[in-house]
Every structure is written in structure tokens, then in C-alpha cells.
A and B are shown apart, each in its own frame.
Chain A
Amino acid sequence: MIIGYVAGEGLLHRAHPFTSLTIAAGVTLLAFALPGTLSPWVLAGMLVVLAVAAGLTGAVVTTLVFSAPLWVFLGIIYGVFGTDWAVAAVYAGRISAILLAFLLALAAVHPGRLVDALVARRVSFAIAYLLAATLQAVPRLQHRAATILEAQRCRGLRTGGSPWRRIRSIVPLAIPLVQGALAEADDRAVALEVRGAVSGCARTPLSPPRDHLLDRVVRWGTVLVVLAAVVLRVVT
């Protein structure tokens, strides 16, 4: 399972950060714009191929782990009770495709590389940092939650057993998680302050990623396909 950046040399790692993010955004829009029950599943299938080619099969596993309970839930709601399995299939496909697209982008785009790419395009460092930090938020919270869980278990918290006990154990996990996240925001503000981030100077991108012709073709191709799908959706 992977959530967050994974070091690698695959094709998505070599791609410009904007390309991976454009694909993720494009898949999100296409999942809603493309007609037919199967189209979200076709998108998801294409992403699975991309994940395997990019050496990020862990993202597919993560998608399955998080999507499977939702598939069951949607099946019960729309299929069993609503007797409309097609709607359940569309929603399940959309969720899976969008989740996989963003997991792939998270896994392949290093925050520092994204900052360099944005700064090289004259985006202010503050905005670039905010975007990159947002991408890191989920993996950071996940890591912090795992640490807190271990710490609380060491102090005798029982997290297994009956559903009621499991629910009760959420509070001693959630409170330090939120407090820790707030404290980390302060720490990060100090770190940025003492390391010259408020200098007002334009930051020097250390190694701005190269934007190859293929990257631009993929990005513009994605934009055109999305536009075509939206137009098709509107007129039909």
C-alpha cells in the first residue's frame, strides 16, 4: 500500500510534475463527463496499466483496499435496496478511478520538485509551498496517526475488541492527532521563517524539472479530451 511520495525512476517520476497532476485532474473530470456505465471502469483500467508501467502497483493495491468497502456499500444501497446496479457500478468506478489517479500523482510527484516547477513558472514560493504541503497533508497525517496509535498502545490503550471499545479508542487517537497537526503547523512556520522564506526575494529553483515535448503533448491532449467529453456531455 502506498499513500504519498515513493522514490523511483519510473515514467511518472520522470514526467514533469504538471503532467501527473493534469492527468489526475483530467481523470476526475472525465469520470463524470464520459457517458456510459463502463467508462469510469475503462479509465480505472487505463490507470492500472499506467501504474504498472510506472512501477507503482502499490497505488493499485491501496485503491482496492480503500475502494472495496465503498463498492460493497454502494452495491447494498443502489443495487440491493435501489435495484439499480448500473448506478452503483458508475459510482464505484468513478471513486476508484479518481482515487487511483490522485494516489499515482502523490506517489510520483515529490513536493520539492513541484515547488521547483512552480517557482520556475514564476509562481510565488508561498503559493507553491502551500500546494506542495497540501499534497503531503494526507501521508503526513497517516504517518502521525500510526505513531500516535503505537504510543497509545504502549500506554495500555486497547484498540481491538468490540465495536464499542473501538469507537471509544478513537478519542485518544484523534485529539493528539489534531493537536499534533496544529503544533506541526507552528513548527513549519518557524522553519520557513528562519530559513529565509520571508525574504521577499524570488526563490531560486534548485533543479527545475525539464518539460519535455511529450509532457506537453500529454497535458494538452488531456485538456482536449476533457473539453471534448464535456462538450459531448452538454450537447447530448
Chain B
Amino acid sequence: MSVRFAGVSFRYPGADEDALRNVTLAFQPGEVTLLTGTSGAGCSTLLLTAAGLAPHVTGGTRTGEVDTLGVDPMTESGRQALAGRIGVLLATPWTQLSGMAYTVHDEVAFGPANLGWDREEIRAHVHESMKVAGVSHLAQRDPRTLSGGELQRVMFAGVMAMAPDLYLLDEPAAELDPAAAGDLYAMLSTLALDRAVVVASTDVDRLAEVVDRVVELEHGAVVADGPPAVVLGAAAAVERGTAPTVAVIAHRAGVPPDYPTSVAMAARRWSA
């Protein structure tokens, strides 16, 4: 088990209501999970809670039990034990810049260096992750001069370079063009070979085809959990506004549920 939530609620400081409400779920190694919902549903908060950043950095109050890679990330010992073991990618890559690197290579190496690895090991991991993320050609650039999309890929390389045991990715393709987003999504199942990958995103059109499981949140509570075709193809998902475009079109065309969640699925169904 990579992450386990048992009756978890979380409230930000000064907020009138909980951002997470009595959430109980688990993420397994070998599984790519999409967390989705309308804006403010609590997907990002769930990732922050799993990583221990909420409440440690954000402030606020958490109740219930969280077990991330065998420890409670809210405790001091848990935070230290998890350092470098969770690969967190935020939707705003510029806020993840170290500010201490004057080349992309050094920016990617920032995390591994913090883990005290020897230089050869760092070099090998940085080289490999930059290659996988497609940013090797940017190695000598100043990170502050990159575009949003380039920076997001660099930060992804930085996360991969730490060889984490769990990936928590918040809108990982928010800054990417469609082709680069497709490349990144295609990588997710490879990343999940022996670890859990949790992606918080509203890009259901593309992710429906690559994830193993979808968890839908609404007002901080889990309202659906299951395979993508079941969760995103349900009439309820269309009503909540979280269904893929194909499902919405099928709904409007009068097709009965369960709706197809991708163009390929729709083509298969209609040609059958």
C-alpha cells in the first residue's frame, strides 16, 4: 500500500468548511489513479495531505489517519522519513524552482543533492531523467529563462531524478502543449510499474485513456471511485460536469449511459 486515507478531513486556516471530508481510500503500487472534480473539489488538497505539506506548510487542521509509504506524513519523523521518497509536481512549476541553480542541469540535480547522494549517482540520475523528460537540450540554460512548458518538464525531470517511491502530480500538463502533454501522460504507466502514481487533473479527455482508476471528488468528499469507463462514463459525471467531451456529446446525442469516455471507445461502440 502506497497511501491510505481513513476518515480524513482537512480544513485550511480561516476557512469556514472542510476542504476534505471524511475521505477513505487507498492507492496501490502499479496503479495510475486520476483524481478529478470541478474546481475546489479538493484534489490538490488530497495530494498535499498525502505528502504531508498540508497541514505542515499550508497550516490548517487534519483529522483521521493518513499512512504514506508506511508513516504518518504529518509527524516530524514521518516528514524526514519521506524526504525524497515522494515525487510531488505542482501545477505552478515556477514555485518549485530552487532559486539556487544557474543551469537546468543543476536545477534537476537540486533534489538528489539534498539527499546526499554521491556526485556520480546524481549525474547518472539527472542525465537519465532529463533524457526521459525530453529536456537534455536545455541542460545549460538558465532555469529562469525557460517557458512555462519547458519549466514544467524540467521540474518533472527534477522529480524523477530523485527516484521517488510515489508520484503525486498536480495538473502535470497544465503548461504543456498537447503533444508534450500526450508524451507525459504516456509515461505514467511506465512510472507506475512498481509504485503508485496519483494525478490530480481536470484533463479527463486525455487521461481517461491512460489511467487505471478514477477517483472523483466533490466538495472534498469522494463521490465516485472505479475504472475510468465506469466513473467518467456515468450519467452522474455528465451532470456534475466532470465527464470527458465524448461522453457529453454522446449524452446530448441521446445515447443511453454508460457513455463512451474516449473517441476510440466511441468508434468501437458505434462500429459494432
Contact = CB atoms under 8 A, between A and B. Distances in A.
A190 B109 contact: no
Contacts of B88: 194
A213 to B, nearest CB: 25
Interface stretch (B31-39, B96-104, B186-194): B96-104
B100 A196 contact: no
Contacts of B84: 196, 199
B114 interface: yes
Contact of B116 (A132, A201, A207): A201
Contact of A201 (B56, B97, B114): B114
A201 B85 CA distance: 13
B261 to A, nearest CB: 31
A75 interface: no
Contact of B96 (A113, A194, A196, A204): A194
A111 interface: yes
Contacts of B100: 111-112, 115, 129, 132
A200 B80 contact: yes
B118 interface: yes
A191 interface: yes
B98 A136 contact: no
B99 A204 contact: no
Nearest to B111: A195
Interface string A86-116: 0000000000000000000000001111010
Contacts of A196: 83-84, 111-112, 114-115, 162
Given A7-B102, A112-B100, A195 B116 contact: no
B53 A203 contact: no
B234 interface: no
B155 to A, nearest CB: 9
Contacts of B86: 194
Interface in B178-221: none
B128 to A, nearest CB: 17
Contacts of A84: none
Nearest to A197: B114
A148 B86 CA distance: 34
A206 B116 contact: no
Given A187-B95, A193-B57, A204-B122, A199 B114 contact: yes
A206 B113 contact: yes
A191 B94 CA distance: 10
Contacts of A205: 113
Which of B80, B99, B106 has the most C-beta atoms of chain A within 10 angstroms of its own C-beta?
Answer: B99
B42 interface: no
B17 interface: no
B27 interface: no
A136 B116 contact: no
Nearest to A143: B144
Which of A110, A132, A193, A206 has the most C-beta atoms of chain B within 10 angstroms of its own C-beta?
Answer: A206
B62 interface: no
Contact of A191 (B98, B106, B162): B98
Interface in A189-227: 189-207
A197 B92 CA distance: 19
Given A196-B83, A206-B113, A189 B162 contact: no
A199 B99 contact: no
Interface in A38-85: none
A205 B109 CA distance: 10
A68 B173 CA distance: 49
28 contacts: A7-B102, A110-B102, A112-B101, A112-B102, A115-B100, A129-B100, A136-B99, A186-B58, A187-B92, A187-B95, A188-B99, A190-B90, A191-B95, A191-B98, A193-B52, A193-B56, A193-B79, A195-B98, A196-B112, A196-B114, A197-B114, A198-B79, A199-B80, A199-B114, A200-B83, A206-B106, A206-B109, A206-B113
